[in-house]
Amino acid sequence: MATRLMCKTLGAACLGLSMALSAPTVFALADIIETPSRPTTLAPAHLLNDVDTAGDRIVAAGVRGHIIFSDDGGETWVQGEVPVSVTLTGVDFGTEQHGWAVGHSGVVLHSDDAGENWDLQLTGVRAAELAIESRQEQIDDMEQKLEEAPEEEKDELDWALGDLYFSLENLQADLEIGPVNPFLDVWFENDKHGFVVGAYGMFLRTTDGGKTWKDWAPKLENPSSFHLNSIGRITGGGLVIVGEAGQIFVSVDGGESWEKRESPYEGSLFGAIGTGNVNEILAFGLRGNIFFSSDLGRSWKVVPSESDATLNDGTVSEDGRITLVGNGGAVLMSTNGGDTFRPYFRDDREGVMDVVPVSGTNLLIVGEGGVKHTDARGKNLQ
Protein backbone atom coordinates (compact mmCIF):
# COMPACT_ATOMS: atom_id res chain seq x y z
CA MET A 1 0.00 0.00 0.00
CA ALA A 2 2.70 2.38 1.06
CA THR A 3 4.77 1.41 -1.90
CA ARG A 4 1.96 2.08 -4.31
CA LEU A 5 1.29 5.43 -2.77
CA MET A 6 4.92 6.39 -3.03
CA CYS A 7 5.01 5.18 -6.58
CA LYS A 8 2.17 7.47 -7.47
CA THR A 9 3.96 10.47 -6.10
CA LEU A 10 7.38 9.61 -7.37
CA GLY A 11 6.15 8.59 -10.79
CA ALA A 12 8.81 7.75 -13.32
CA ALA A 13 11.61 7.30 -10.83
CA CYS A 14 9.61 4.65 -9.05
CA LEU A 15 8.76 2.92 -12.29
CA GLY A 16 12.44 2.68 -13.07
CA LEU A 17 13.16 1.33 -9.62
CA SER A 18 10.50 -1.33 -9.70
CA MET A 19 11.67 -2.37 -13.14
CA ALA A 20 15.22 -2.67 -11.91
CA LEU A 21 14.09 -4.74 -8.96
CA SER A 22 11.92 -7.05 -10.98
CA ALA A 23 14.42 -7.41 -13.82
CA PRO A 24 15.36 -11.03 -14.46
CA THR A 25 18.89 -11.89 -13.43
CA VAL A 26 19.74 -13.03 -16.94
CA PHE A 27 19.05 -10.85 -19.92
CA ALA A 28 20.99 -10.11 -23.06
CA LEU A 29 22.42 -6.67 -23.46
CA ALA A 30 20.25 -4.49 -25.65
CA ASP A 31 21.47 -3.72 -29.17
CA ILE A 32 23.61 -0.61 -29.32
CA ILE A 33 21.06 1.23 -31.42
CA GLU A 34 18.63 0.73 -28.54
CA THR A 35 21.11 1.61 -25.82
CA PRO A 36 21.25 5.29 -24.88
CA SER A 37 24.73 6.74 -24.74
CA ARG A 38 26.06 6.50 -21.19
CA PRO A 39 26.52 9.86 -19.48
CA THR A 40 30.25 10.18 -18.91
CA THR A 41 32.86 12.77 -18.20
CA LEU A 42 35.25 10.90 -20.46
CA ALA A 43 33.59 11.85 -23.75
CA PRO A 44 35.80 14.89 -24.45
CA ALA A 45 38.89 12.70 -24.06
CA HIS A 46 37.84 9.88 -26.38
CA LEU A 47 37.65 9.54 -30.15
CA LEU A 48 35.61 12.30 -31.78
CA ASN A 49 35.15 12.07 -35.54
CA ASP A 50 33.56 15.34 -36.52
CA VAL A 51 32.87 18.83 -35.23
CA ASP A 52 30.55 21.59 -36.38
CA THR A 53 29.25 24.90 -35.11
CA ALA A 54 25.66 25.82 -34.30
CA GLY A 55 25.86 29.57 -33.95
CA ASP A 56 28.41 30.16 -31.18
CA ARG A 57 28.05 26.62 -29.97
CA ILE A 58 30.58 23.96 -30.92
CA VAL A 59 29.21 20.43 -31.29
CA ALA A 60 31.34 17.29 -31.71
CA ALA A 61 30.39 13.65 -32.25
CA GLY A 62 32.33 10.44 -31.69
CA VAL A 63 32.45 6.96 -30.25
CA ARG A 64 29.74 5.31 -28.12
CA GLY A 65 27.10 7.81 -29.20
CA HIS A 66 28.99 10.73 -27.73
CA ILE A 67 27.75 14.14 -28.79
CA ILE A 68 29.22 16.96 -26.75
CA PHE A 69 28.77 20.69 -27.05
CA SER A 70 30.52 23.76 -25.72
CA ASP A 71 29.31 27.35 -25.44
CA ASP A 72 32.64 28.78 -24.33
CA GLY A 73 34.85 28.01 -27.27
CA GLY A 74 35.70 24.51 -26.09
CA GLU A 75 36.68 25.22 -22.50
CA THR A 76 33.86 23.21 -20.95
CA TRP A 77 31.73 20.53 -22.51
CA VAL A 78 28.24 19.18 -21.90
CA GLN A 79 27.11 15.80 -23.16
CA GLY A 80 23.92 15.69 -25.21
CA GLU A 81 21.26 13.03 -24.64
CA VAL A 82 21.64 10.48 -27.40
CA PRO A 83 19.45 7.38 -27.74
CA VAL A 84 22.15 5.19 -29.36
CA SER A 85 25.67 4.02 -28.43
CA VAL A 86 27.17 3.54 -31.89
CA THR A 87 30.29 5.25 -33.17
CA LEU A 88 29.12 8.53 -34.72
CA THR A 89 30.98 9.72 -37.79
CA GLY A 90 29.49 13.06 -38.78
CA VAL A 91 27.56 16.00 -37.40
CA ASP A 92 26.15 19.02 -39.23
CA PHE A 93 23.86 21.87 -38.29
CA GLY A 94 21.48 23.23 -40.94
CA THR A 95 20.42 26.07 -38.63
CA GLU A 96 21.52 27.17 -35.18
CA GLN A 97 18.89 24.89 -33.67
CA HIS A 98 18.55 22.02 -36.11
CA GLY A 99 21.36 19.55 -36.43
CA TRP A 100 21.88 16.02 -37.62
CA ALA A 101 24.42 13.37 -36.65
CA VAL A 102 25.13 10.11 -38.46
CA GLY A 103 27.09 7.00 -37.69
CA HIS A 104 27.43 3.25 -37.62
CA SER A 105 24.44 0.93 -37.85
CA GLY A 106 23.13 3.46 -40.34
CA VAL A 107 21.82 5.81 -37.69
CA VAL A 108 20.65 9.34 -38.37
CA LEU A 109 19.99 11.46 -35.29
CA HIS A 110 18.26 14.80 -35.15
CA SER A 111 18.29 17.62 -32.62
CA ASP A 112 16.04 20.68 -32.66
CA ASP A 113 17.59 22.27 -29.57
CA ALA A 114 21.12 22.93 -30.77
CA GLY A 115 22.46 19.53 -29.79
CA GLU A 116 21.15 18.97 -26.28
CA ASN A 117 18.61 16.25 -27.09
CA TRP A 118 18.73 13.88 -30.00
CA ASP A 119 16.18 11.52 -31.49
CA LEU A 120 16.69 8.63 -33.82
CA GLN A 121 15.29 9.37 -37.28
CA LEU A 122 16.67 6.50 -39.29
CA THR A 123 18.55 3.25 -38.80
CA GLY A 124 20.53 1.10 -41.19
CA VAL A 125 17.61 -1.30 -41.57
CA ARG A 126 15.33 1.38 -42.97
CA ALA A 127 18.20 2.84 -45.00
CA ALA A 128 18.88 -0.57 -46.54
CA GLU A 129 15.17 -1.09 -47.28
CA LEU A 130 15.06 2.28 -49.03
CA ALA A 131 18.14 1.37 -51.05
CA ILE A 132 16.72 -2.03 -51.94
CA GLU A 133 13.41 -0.52 -53.12
CA SER A 134 15.29 2.03 -55.13
CA ARG A 135 17.61 -0.59 -56.63
CA GLN A 136 14.58 -2.68 -57.51
CA GLU A 137 13.07 0.31 -59.34
CA GLN A 138 16.35 0.93 -61.13
CA ILE A 139 16.44 -2.71 -62.19
CA ASP A 140 12.86 -2.54 -63.48
CA ASP A 141 13.69 0.63 -65.43
CA MET A 142 16.88 -0.89 -66.75
CA GLU A 143 15.13 -4.07 -67.88
CA GLN A 144 12.53 -1.93 -69.59
CA LYS A 145 15.30 0.05 -71.28
CA LEU A 146 17.12 -3.10 -72.24
CA GLU A 147 14.06 -4.42 -74.02
CA GLU A 148 13.60 -1.21 -75.97
CA ALA A 149 17.27 -0.50 -76.61
CA PRO A 150 18.90 -1.03 -79.98
CA GLU A 151 21.08 -4.11 -80.28
CA GLU A 152 24.44 -2.24 -80.18
CA GLU A 153 23.66 -0.64 -76.79
CA LYS A 154 22.45 -3.83 -75.19
CA ASP A 155 25.87 -5.04 -74.09
CA GLU A 156 26.55 -1.90 -72.15
CA LEU A 157 23.08 -1.93 -70.57
CA ASP A 158 23.57 -5.57 -69.69
CA TRP A 159 26.68 -4.65 -67.77
CA ALA A 160 24.86 -1.87 -65.96
CA LEU A 161 22.04 -4.22 -65.11
CA GLY A 162 24.57 -6.73 -63.78
CA ASP A 163 26.03 -4.03 -61.51
CA LEU A 164 22.57 -3.21 -60.21
CA TYR A 165 21.78 -6.84 -59.46
CA PHE A 166 25.13 -7.20 -57.72
CA SER A 167 24.42 -4.13 -55.64
CA LEU A 168 20.92 -5.36 -54.80
CA GLU A 169 22.20 -8.76 -53.69
CA ASN A 170 24.84 -7.13 -51.48
CA LEU A 171 22.23 -4.90 -49.89
CA GLN A 172 19.98 -7.87 -49.22
CA ALA A 173 22.78 -9.98 -47.81
CA ASP A 174 23.84 -7.14 -45.52
CA LEU A 175 20.29 -6.54 -44.37
CA GLU A 176 20.07 -10.17 -43.28
CA ILE A 177 22.87 -9.51 -40.81
CA GLY A 178 21.31 -6.26 -39.67
CA PRO A 179 22.16 -2.60 -39.95
CA VAL A 180 25.80 -3.33 -40.82
CA ASN A 181 26.95 -0.30 -42.74
CA PRO A 182 27.83 3.15 -41.46
CA PHE A 183 26.97 6.55 -42.71
CA LEU A 184 30.17 8.57 -42.95
CA ASP A 185 29.05 12.17 -43.32
CA VAL A 186 26.03 14.47 -43.28
CA TRP A 187 25.26 17.89 -44.68
CA PHE A 188 22.13 20.00 -44.20
CA GLU A 189 21.25 23.12 -46.09
CA ASN A 190 18.63 24.31 -43.56
CA ASP A 191 16.15 22.70 -41.18
CA LYS A 192 14.51 20.73 -43.99
CA HIS A 193 16.86 19.81 -46.77
CA GLY A 194 19.89 17.62 -46.34
CA PHE A 195 21.92 14.59 -47.39
CA VAL A 196 23.70 11.71 -45.73
CA VAL A 197 26.49 9.69 -47.39
CA GLY A 198 28.05 6.44 -46.32
CA ALA A 199 29.68 3.12 -46.96
CA TYR A 200 29.14 1.23 -50.21
CA GLY A 201 27.73 4.30 -51.94
CA MET A 202 24.88 4.92 -49.50
CA PHE A 203 23.33 8.28 -50.31
CA LEU A 204 19.99 9.55 -48.98
CA ARG A 205 18.18 12.83 -49.17
CA THR A 206 15.42 14.42 -47.15
CA THR A 207 13.37 17.51 -47.83
CA ASP A 208 11.25 17.41 -44.68
CA GLY A 209 13.85 17.63 -41.97
CA GLY A 210 14.45 13.91 -41.85
CA LYS A 211 10.87 12.71 -41.42
CA THR A 212 11.12 10.86 -44.71
CA TRP A 213 14.16 9.89 -46.71
CA LYS A 214 14.69 9.05 -50.33
CA ASP A 215 17.48 6.93 -51.73
CA TRP A 216 19.53 9.35 -53.79
CA ALA A 217 22.28 6.90 -54.83
CA PRO A 218 20.93 6.54 -58.38
CA LYS A 219 21.84 10.21 -58.89
CA LEU A 220 25.52 9.31 -58.64
CA GLU A 221 27.48 7.42 -61.26
CA ASN A 222 28.94 4.97 -58.77
CA PRO A 223 28.38 1.48 -60.20
CA SER A 224 31.07 -0.08 -57.97
CA SER A 225 29.34 1.25 -54.84
CA PHE A 226 32.49 2.97 -53.59
CA HIS A 227 32.36 4.43 -50.08
CA LEU A 228 31.31 8.07 -50.00
CA ASN A 229 33.45 9.70 -47.32
CA SER A 230 32.43 13.32 -47.25
CA ILE A 231 29.79 15.78 -48.38
CA GLY A 232 29.91 19.56 -48.10
CA ARG A 233 29.28 22.90 -49.72
CA ILE A 234 32.02 25.09 -51.10
CA THR A 235 32.16 28.84 -51.55
CA GLY A 236 29.80 29.70 -54.34
CA GLY A 237 27.20 27.11 -53.41
CA GLY A 238 28.47 24.03 -55.18
CA LEU A 239 28.06 20.71 -53.36
CA VAL A 240 30.93 18.23 -53.38
CA ILE A 241 31.01 14.55 -52.45
CA VAL A 242 34.33 12.70 -52.34
CA GLY A 243 34.98 9.06 -51.63
CA GLU A 244 36.90 5.89 -52.11
CA ALA A 245 39.13 5.40 -55.16
CA GLY A 246 39.23 9.09 -55.97
CA GLN A 247 35.48 9.51 -56.43
CA ILE A 248 34.43 13.14 -56.86
CA PHE A 249 30.84 14.23 -57.48
CA VAL A 250 29.68 17.81 -57.84
CA SER A 251 26.21 19.34 -57.84
CA VAL A 252 25.51 22.90 -58.85
CA ASP A 253 21.74 22.73 -58.39
CA GLY A 254 21.56 22.20 -54.66
CA GLY A 255 21.85 18.44 -54.90
CA GLU A 256 19.10 17.68 -57.41
CA SER A 257 21.57 16.34 -59.91
CA TRP A 258 25.17 15.27 -59.60
CA GLU A 259 28.05 15.08 -62.02
CA LYS A 260 30.97 12.74 -61.69
CA ARG A 261 34.29 14.54 -62.05
CA GLU A 262 37.38 13.08 -63.59
CA SER A 263 39.62 12.36 -60.64
CA PRO A 264 43.28 13.35 -60.33
CA TYR A 265 43.81 10.48 -57.91
CA GLU A 266 43.24 6.73 -57.67
CA GLY A 267 43.33 6.55 -53.86
CA SER A 268 40.71 7.48 -51.34
CA LEU A 269 39.69 11.07 -50.75
CA PHE A 270 38.42 11.77 -47.24
CA GLY A 271 37.41 15.39 -47.52
CA ALA A 272 36.77 18.36 -49.75
CA ILE A 273 36.43 21.95 -48.61
CA GLY A 274 36.11 25.38 -50.19
CA THR A 275 38.88 27.91 -49.90
CA GLY A 276 36.85 31.10 -49.50
CA ASN A 277 37.07 31.85 -53.22
CA VAL A 278 34.15 31.01 -55.44
CA ASN A 279 34.20 27.56 -57.02
CA GLU A 280 37.57 26.61 -55.60
CA ILE A 281 37.88 23.13 -54.08
CA LEU A 282 40.60 21.51 -52.04
CA ALA A 283 40.19 17.74 -52.04
CA PHE A 284 42.47 15.58 -49.93
CA GLY A 285 42.91 12.11 -48.57
CA LEU A 286 45.23 9.14 -48.36
CA ARG A 287 48.97 9.65 -47.83
CA GLY A 288 48.81 13.40 -47.68
CA ASN A 289 47.58 13.91 -51.23
CA ILE A 290 46.01 17.33 -51.80
CA PHE A 291 44.43 18.53 -55.03
CA PHE A 292 43.28 21.98 -55.96
CA SER A 293 40.59 22.98 -58.43
CA SER A 294 39.45 26.47 -59.32
CA ASP A 295 36.69 25.37 -61.66
CA LEU A 296 34.35 23.24 -59.55
CA GLY A 297 36.46 20.16 -60.06
CA ARG A 298 36.72 20.12 -63.82
CA SER A 299 40.47 20.38 -63.64
CA TRP A 300 42.88 19.65 -60.79
CA LYS A 301 46.43 20.33 -59.82
CA VAL A 302 48.53 18.63 -57.20
CA VAL A 303 49.32 20.71 -54.10
CA PRO A 304 52.73 19.99 -52.55
CA SER A 305 52.32 19.06 -48.91
CA GLU A 306 55.69 17.76 -47.60
CA SER A 307 53.77 15.15 -45.64
CA ASP A 308 52.48 11.69 -46.37
CA ALA A 309 50.01 11.52 -43.47
CA THR A 310 46.44 10.79 -44.52
CA LEU A 311 44.32 13.95 -44.33
CA ASN A 312 40.80 13.79 -42.91
CA ASP A 313 39.23 17.23 -42.87
CA GLY A 314 39.92 20.95 -42.85
CA THR A 315 38.68 24.44 -42.24
CA VAL A 316 39.13 27.99 -43.45
CA SER A 317 39.65 30.67 -40.80
CA GLU A 318 38.32 34.22 -41.03
CA ASP A 319 41.76 35.50 -41.98
CA GLY A 320 41.89 33.10 -44.92
CA ARG A 321 44.26 30.56 -43.42
CA ILE A 322 43.43 27.05 -44.49
CA THR A 323 44.10 24.24 -42.03
CA LEU A 324 43.97 20.56 -42.93
CA VAL A 325 44.25 17.84 -40.30
CA GLY A 326 45.06 14.17 -40.49
CA ASN A 327 46.53 11.01 -39.06
CA GLY A 328 49.74 10.89 -37.06
CA GLY A 329 49.01 14.28 -35.51
CA ALA A 330 49.31 16.09 -38.85
CA VAL A 331 48.21 19.73 -38.93
CA LEU A 332 48.87 21.45 -42.28
CA MET A 333 48.54 25.18 -42.75
CA SER A 334 48.32 27.27 -45.89
CA THR A 335 48.50 31.04 -45.81
CA ASN A 336 48.36 31.41 -49.57
CA GLY A 337 44.88 30.15 -50.29
CA GLY A 338 45.88 26.54 -50.68
CA ASP A 339 48.82 26.88 -53.08
CA THR A 340 51.20 25.30 -50.60
CA PHE A 341 50.94 23.77 -47.15
CA ARG A 342 53.38 23.57 -44.29
CA PRO A 343 53.02 20.51 -42.08
CA TYR A 344 53.35 20.24 -38.32
CA PHE A 345 53.21 16.95 -36.47
CA ARG A 346 51.78 17.06 -33.00
CA ASP A 347 53.78 15.47 -30.20
CA ASP A 348 51.10 12.93 -29.33
CA ARG A 349 50.96 11.68 -32.96
CA GLU A 350 47.29 10.96 -32.48
CA GLY A 351 44.96 11.04 -35.45
CA VAL A 352 43.12 14.34 -35.97
CA MET A 353 39.71 14.04 -37.60
CA ASP A 354 38.42 17.60 -37.81
CA VAL A 355 39.18 21.17 -36.86
CA VAL A 356 37.28 24.41 -36.20
CA PRO A 357 38.72 27.88 -35.70
CA VAL A 358 38.12 29.40 -32.28
CA SER A 359 39.17 32.67 -30.67
CA GLY A 360 42.02 34.58 -32.31
CA THR A 361 44.07 32.31 -34.53
CA ASN A 362 43.58 29.34 -32.26
CA LEU A 363 42.08 26.05 -33.32
CA LEU A 364 40.01 23.36 -31.74
CA ILE A 365 40.88 19.93 -33.05
CA VAL A 366 39.05 16.66 -32.48
CA GLY A 367 40.21 13.14 -33.10
CA GLU A 368 41.67 10.01 -31.59
CA GLY A 369 42.38 11.59 -28.21
CA GLY A 370 39.21 13.68 -28.00
CA VAL A 371 39.19 17.44 -28.18
CA LYS A 372 42.27 19.66 -27.87
CA HIS A 373 42.91 23.40 -27.92
CA THR A 374 45.83 24.39 -30.12
CA ASP A 375 47.50 27.41 -31.61
CA ALA A 376 47.38 28.13 -35.32
CA ARG A 377 50.11 25.53 -36.02
CA GLY A 378 48.43 22.79 -34.05
CA LYS A 379 50.56 22.90 -30.89
CA ASN A 380 48.69 22.33 -27.67
CA LEU A 381 47.87 25.47 -25.72
CA GLN A 382 49.01 25.34 -22.13
Partner 1 sequence: MSNPKHDKGEHYLTTPKAEPFLERLIFNNRAIILIAFFFLTLFLGYNAVKIEPDASFERMIPLEHPYIVNMLEHRDDLENLGNFVRIAVEVEEGDIFTAEYMETLKQITDEVFYLNGVDRSGLKSLWTSNVRWVEVTEQGFQGGTVIPDGYDGSRASLEQLRQNVLRSNEVGRLISDNFRSTIVYAPLYENNPETGEPLDYGEFSRQLEEKIRDKYEAQNPSIEIHIVGFAKKVGDLIEGIGSIAWFAGITIILTTLLLFGYSRCITGTLVPVFTSIIAVFLQLGTLRLLGYGLDPYSVLVPFLVFAIGISHGVQIVNAMAVEAAKGFDSVTAARLAFRALYIPGMLALISDAFGFLTLFFIEIDVIRDLAVAAGIGVAFVILTNLVLHVLIMSYLGISKGGVRHVQNHGEKQDRKWRVMSYFAHPGVAPISLLIAVIGLGLGLYYKQGLKVGDLDQGAPELRADSRYNKDNAYIINNYSTSADVLVVMVKTEEEQCTQYNVLRAMDNLQWELQNTPGVQSSASLADVSKIVTKALNEGNWKWYEISRNQTIINASIREAPAGLINTNCDLTPVLVFLEDHKAETLETVTERVEEFASNNNNDEYTFMLAAGNAGVEAATNDVISNAKNMMLIFVYGVVASLCLLTFRSIRAVLCILIPLGLTSILAEAIMAMSGIGIKVATLPVIALGVGIGVDYGIYIYSKLEKFLLEGKTLQEAYFETLRSTGKAVIFTGVTLGIGVVTWIFSPIKFQADMGLLLFFMFIWNMVGSIWLLPALARFLLRPDRMVAKARANK
Binding positions for partner 1, rule: CB under 8 A: 23, 25-29, 32, 38, 40, 42, 47, 49, 63-64, 86-87, 89-90, 104-105, 174, 177-180, 182, 184, 229, 266-268, 270, 286-287, 308, 310, 312, 327-328, 345, 349, 351, 353, 367-368
> What's the rounded Cα separation, in Å, for the pair 44 and 78?
9
Q: What sections of the chain are H helices per DSSP?
A: 2-10, 12-22, 124-148, 151-177
Question: Shortest Cβ distance from residue 16 to partner 1 (Å)?
Answer: 15
Nearest to residue 92, comparing CAs of 38, 146, 51?
A: 51
Q: Given the complex with partner 1, which of 85 and 275 has the nearer CB atom?
A: 85
Q: Given the complex with partner 1, which of 60 and 184 has the nearer CB atom?
A: 184
Q: Which residues 6+ apart lie within 8 Å of 265 measured at CB?
A: 246, 283, 285, 289, 291
Would you tell me how many other CB atoms lie within 10 Å of the CB of residue 17?
14
Question: Shortest Cβ distance from residue 258 to partner 1 (Å)?
Answer: 22
Nearest to residue 298, comparing CAs of 241, 249, 371?
A: 249
Question: Are 243 and 269 spatial neighbours (Cβ–Cβ below 8 Å)?
Answer: yes
Q: Given the complex with partner 1, which of 43 and 250 has the nearer CB atom?
A: 43
Question: Shortest Cβ distance from residue 112 to partner 1 (Å)?
Answer: 25
Positive or negative torsion for Cα 62, 372, 54, 193: negative
Q: Given the complex with partner 1, which of 274 and 329 has the nearer CB atom?
A: 329
Would you tell me how many other CB atoms lie within 10 Å of the CB of residue 180?
17
Q: Given the complex with partner 1, which of 229 and 251 has the nearer CB atom?
A: 229
> What's the rounded Cα separation, in Å, for the pair 342 and 377?
9
Question: Shortest Cβ distance from residue 378 to partner 1 (Å)?
Answer: 16
Q: Given the complex with partner 1, which of 12 and 29 has the nearer CB atom?
A: 29
Q: Given the complex with partner 1, which of 49 and 323 has the nearer CB atom?
A: 49
Question: Shortest Cβ distance from residue 319 to partner 1 (Å)?
Answer: 29
Q: How far, in Å, are 196, 245, 325 from residue 307 at the CA level?
A: 30, 20, 11
Question: Shortest Cβ distance from residue 131 to partner 1 (Å)?
Answer: 17
> What's the rounded Cα separation, in Å, for the pair 214 and 356?
31
Q: Which residues 6+ apart lie within 8 Å of 70 measured at CB?
A: 57, 58, 76, 77, 78
Question: Shortest Cβ distance from residue 1 to partner 1 (Å)?
Answer: 30
> What's the rounded Cα separation, in Å, for the pair 329 and 332?
10
Q: Given the complex with partner 1, which of 238 and 243 has the nearer CB atom?
A: 243
Question: Shortest Cβ distance from residue 307 to partner 1 (Å)?
Answer: 12
